[in-house]
Amino acid sequence: MKVDALVIATGEGSLPLATGTIDVLGYSPGLVSSPFEALPTFLHANPEHPYRIAGIDGVEHALAWLAETAESLGYQGGLVRNRWVPTVLGGLRPTSMLPRSMVSADLHANAHAEIVVAGIRGYRDFHPALLAANLSLATPPSGGRTIRARATEVEWPGNSSDLVPFRLARRLEEAAVRREIANRIRPSLGGATAVAMPALLGRERWDEVHRDLEGRLERDVFEVPGLPPSLPGLRLSDCLRRALRRAGGRLLLGSSAVSATRVDGEVRSVTVTQAARHTEVKAGFVILATGGFAAGGIARDRDGTLREPLLGLPVHGPQVGAEPTSPRFLGSQPLDRAGVRTDPTGRPLDTAGEPWARNLYAAGAVLAGAVPWREKSGEGVALATAWAVTGAILGGAQ
Amino acid sequence: MSARVDPMGSSDHLESGAALVRSSLDACIKCTICESACPFAVATPLFPGPKTVGPQAERFRSGLSSADWSVDYCSGCGICSRVCPQGVRIAEINAQARARLKERTGIPLRDQLLARPDVMGRLGQPVAPLFNRAVETPAVRTIMERTLGIHRSAAIPRVSPRTFQSWSRRHPPAPGPDRVVYFHGCSVNHFEPRLGRMVVAVLEHQGLRVDVPEQGCCGLPLQSNGNFPAARRYLTRLAHRLAAAADVSVIASSTSCGLMLKREGREILGVDDPALADVSRRTWDIFEFLRDLHERGLLRTDLQPVDLCVAYHAPCQQQNHLMGKPAIDILSLVPGLRIIELERDCCGVAGTYGLKREKHDISMSVGEDLFHDIRGLEPDAVLCDSETCRWQIAKATGYPVVHPVEILHRAYSGGGRPPRARG
């Protein structure tokens, strides 16, 4: 079915800051080795969690959709088992899907006899010695022996002005630069079977960069995402933008939705900003995907009132007088769970518990009940709820 | 009152538009999204990136002193402001910082010249054939590069021997009851009067009476070259001339000059003039206007088939209108026309940036992906709403590059031959 879709985006969204891996469920609260097995119990214990809108089937479908839509990025994995990938500090974190440039970063039992962590001297956001030292202390939760990792740092063959992520990524798309980098890494390889590198291996031509380095080093090469900007996240963002455009959808980047018109229980139009005035966009269906507290999709007034600023939807979360945060930085933060409550199909509820509008849906971090950074569920919630509500819209529109 | 800055600077902020732009820097969380979207930072180390040069360096600027010169290498394309999720007006902050830098250092003769296309047009017009032959003579261009600093390979438009204004004065107005004002800009007046005639024809075809008041430059090239006082004078004069016909829509065919009226004059230059505020609200890009007519069922759709495959490039300033791509929406109505949407952000020229000796190579490197895509597609023509971008793309690719209104004009006047290459 052909749908006329418009995405109104105040800025690029958070993908350029994200790892490019797809987290579904990493902790519940203990470490999860199989999201597929853990999800029923998790949902039972967290009946308000946004995953309930999609169900486990919906999560699976959403991941399959991503693998197909972002086929050029070569995503692998799924719900059956979590992958264990190194962080830029050398910890291991669980995630469900990896793009091809990170597939060999999955450090399940004895995946690699030894890893060389190769950094670039002078690049400030990737410290191979730190990464390798911490990684050497880790044992994959799936069993096996301690990971063996060692660090090397090579001189950059270009100018020091190249040593920022977007320029390094562009320069690495040049064959001559790669040849030189590979020549400088090669003497340190020894018996290593894999090379970990900062996630800077090209933007558009990442596949060529990655394959070429693997060929030259005769080892598995994988990217380790670190501080933003994140090239794997940018590639995914580029890829999804292209997919939207090719499907006939439109993106209004830099504009903001400021209000909506609701008549007889239906949203009729959304008012958006333009250069000199506001304009109304008529819509048959509207999906609210404005993000959580950090993105501004949920706001908190000085008196402690939580608001959903665009439509004024009631927000479920710590109420006035309740402590919104915990003094323990990594502790449970009540504000994290704040968001919009919905009916089982993803339609936000009004104060009486009825859908605010028949044709309004919500997806992603604006929904109440998830703590993505603790659960490691951010991409999963975004994908699964988007999948579920678009399915509800397409089904309802037929 | 909420302290939050409306990231889009709605027309409510007229009085203090320019000040609010600067204060938006406090919303920067240094997420680097702008740095990875900037087409210039990746192309040259001379521009360290919009975050570094914008909100970050701005904190160290006081009065006229600036931490360094790098802000001069910002092209002002505005992509950073569009991708910023926090509503920081990065490109606008940079434009203001550049003007303060130029206040201190002075503006070179070359930039003063490039910033006044109307003066160039007026000087060239009486001797148009000579002027046009001269700018195409390599020896002359070498001298121009050495003496003025205008790059020998940069695209320079041909001056028309007759201005659009002189044509329109003799053009009998259509009798329609509904009027619009056509803001043609310097480029149509001096370099592309044919485009202006097509705009008038397309609008008259809708039954509209098209008024073409005396106008003049909007000050955009002066603004991007850091001469704010002159830019403000030009813009204010223009706004008063366009405001004379009260309550009439003002239609612009130059998308970047239209944006000057809509927003940049208020927010970058800080022009706080009721005439500009008034004109701002009723300024429309030509295709934005036609799309609005179409949405209200008022656009004539007697469109003949145009059997062409065209590639459309939405220039940066067109995207900064935040109106989507109305040219595609409208041209999709033309039977037989195949439109391919190009997927690159910037052609690199950024008005006068790519004409400068020290910046031309950067500009070409920024545009290379776009040029590459065009060459791969082998379209019959490339469509683009901005004149300097058209000239840059035509020069770099050799393909004919036309304003999308040319295709619509052709469809209304019965199909016809494909566009010819420039020059």
B40 falls within a domain: yes
Query: Token digits for A353?
Result: 């518990």
How many structural domains comprise chain B? 2
Task: Give the percent of chain A with pLDDT over 90.
Answer: 85
- Measuring CA to CA, which residue among A9, A1, A3 is closest to residue A270? A9
- A274–B8 CB contact, under 8 Å: yes
Q: Residue B14: is its pLDDT beyond 90?
A: no
Residue A305 forms contact with B (CB below 8 Å)? no
The residue out of B51, B73, B105 marking a domain boundary is B105
- Measuring CA to CA, which residue among B220, B244, B239 is closest to residue B230? B220
- A228–B283 CB contact, under 8 Å: no
The residue out of B105, B133, B154 marking a domain boundary is B105
B387 falls within a domain: yes
- B35–A164 CB contact, under 8 Å: yes
Task: Kindly write down the DSSP assignment for every residue of B356-405, as one continuous string.
Answer: BTTTHHHHHHHHHHHHHHHHHH--SEEEES-HHHHHHHHHHH-S-EE-HH
Report, at the CATH architecture level, how domain A82-226 is classified: 3-Layer(aba) Sandwich (3.40)
Query: How big is the CA angle at A237 (ends B82 and B382), to the nearest 5 degrees?
Result: 65
Task: Kindly write down the DSSP assignment for every residue of B205-251, as one continuous string.
Answer: HTTEEEE-------SHHHHHTT-HHHHHHHHHHHHHHHHTSTTPEEE
- A162–B45 CB contact, under 8 Å: yes
Q: Which CATH number do you get for residue B341?
A: 3.40.50
Which of A137-151, A321-335, A342-356, B88-102 ranks highest by mean pLDDT? A342-356
Distance of alpha carbon B337 from alpha carbon B399, whole angstroms: 17
Compute the mean pLDDT over every residue in chain A, rounded to the nearest whole number: 94
- Measured between beta carbons, the chain B residues lying within 8 angstroms of A20 are none
Q: Which CATH number do you get for residue B95?
A: 1.10.1060.10
Pairing of strands B249-252, B178-183: parallel
What value does the mean pLDDT take over residues B366-385? Answer: 98
- Measured between beta carbons, the chain B residues lying within 8 angstroms of A12 are 33, 37, 83-85
- A254–B322 CB contact, under 8 Å: yes
Q: How far is A259 from chain B (nearest CA, A)?
A: 13
Q: Is B277 helix (H, G, I), strand (E, B) or coil?
A: helix
Domain ranges across chain A: 6-72+235-323+331-397, 82-226
Q: Any bridge partners for residue B211, and if so which? A: B181
CB atoms within 10 A of CB A265: 12
Chains A, B: CB contacts under 8 A, how many? 106
- B321–A272 CB contact, under 8 Å: no
- A255–B37 CB contact, under 8 Å: no
Q: Residue A244: is its pLDDT beyond 50?
A: yes
Structural domain range at position B60? 11-105
What value does the mean pLDDT take over residues A97-105? Answer: 97
Q: Residue B422: is its pLDDT beyond 80?
A: no
- B85–A10 CB contact, under 8 Å: yes
* Half-sphere exposure of residue B4: CA atoms within 13 angstroms, side-chain side: 11
Instruction: Using pLDDT thresholds of 50, 70 and 90, give the confidence band for residue B63.
Output: low
Q: How far is A1 from chain B (nearest CA, A)?
A: 19
CB atoms within 10 A of CB B301: 12
Distance of alpha carbon B143 from alpha carbon B139, whole angstroms: 6
Q: How far is B324 from chain A (nearest CA, A)?
A: 6
What value does the mean pLDDT take over residues B299-321? Answer: 97
B376 falls within a domain: yes
The residue out of B83, B105, B127 marking a domain boundary is B105
From A228, A275, A277, residue closest to B31, measured CB to CB: A228
- Measured between beta carbons, the chain B residues lying within 8 angstroms of A255 are 8, 322
What value does the mean pLDDT take over residues B138-153? Answer: 96
Instruction: Using pLDDT thresholds of 50, 70 and 90, give the confidence band for residue A10.
Output: very high
Q: Residue A396: is its pLDDT beyond 90?
A: no
Q: How far is A309 from chain B (nearest CA, A)?
A: 12
Q: How far is A228 from chain B (nearest CA, A)?
A: 7
What value does the mean pLDDT take over residues A319-326? Answer: 82
Residue B340 forms contact with A (CB below 8 Å)? no
Q: How far is A182 from chain B (nearest CA, A)?
A: 23
B404 falls within a domain: yes
Measured between CA atoms, the residue of chain B closest to residue A273 is B8
Taking each helix axis from N to C end, the angle separating A51-69 and A35-45, rounded to the nearest 10 degrees, works out to 150
B139 falls within a domain: no
- Measured between beta carbons, the chain A residues lying within 8 angstroms of B283 are 276
Residue A99 forms contact with B (CB below 8 Å)? no
| Amino acid, single-letter form, for residue A216 | R
B218 falls within a domain: no
pLDDT at B15: 41
B406 falls within a domain: yes
Measured between CA atoms, the residue of chain A closest to residue B41 is A167
pLDDT at B21: 87
To probe the interface with A, which of B33, B267, B318 has the most A CB atoms within 10 Å? B33
Instruction: Using pLDDT thresholds of 50, 70 and 90, give the confidence band for residue A16.
Output: very high
| CATH number given to A6-72+235-323+331-397 | 3.50.50.60
Q: Residue A347: is its pLDDT beyond 80?
A: yes
Measured between CA atoms, the residue of chain B closest to residue A161 is B45
From A170, A229, A254, residue closest to B33, measured CB to CB: A229
Query: Token digits for A273?
Result: 């900003």
Q: Any bridge partners for residue A307, and if so which? A: A299
pLDDT digits (tens, 9 = 90+) for B103-125: 888 999 999 999 999 998 999 99
pLDDT at B5: 37
pLDDT at B64: 57
Instruction: Using pLDDT thresholds of 50, 70 and 90, give the confidence band for residue B20.
Output: confident
| Amino acid, single-letter form, for residue B79 | I
Residue B373 forms contact with A (CB below 8 Å)? no
pLDDT at B2: 33
- A14–B323 CB contact, under 8 Å: no
Residue B29 forms contact with A (CB below 8 Å)? no
| Amino acid, single-letter form, for residue A280 | E
Residue A295 forms contact with B (CB below 8 Å)? yes
Q: Residue B176: is its pLDDT beyond 80?
A: no
Measured between CA atoms, the residue of chain A closest to residue B4 is A296
Q: How far is B304 from chain A (nearest CA, A)?
A: 24
CB atoms within 10 A of CB B381: 22
To probe the interface with B, which of A159, A256, A301, A302 has the most B CB atoms within 10 Å? A256
pLDDT at B11: 38
B55 falls within a domain: yes
Q: Residue B421: is its pLDDT beyond 50?
A: no
CB contact at 8 A, A33 and A82: yes
- B87–A17 CB contact, under 8 Å: no
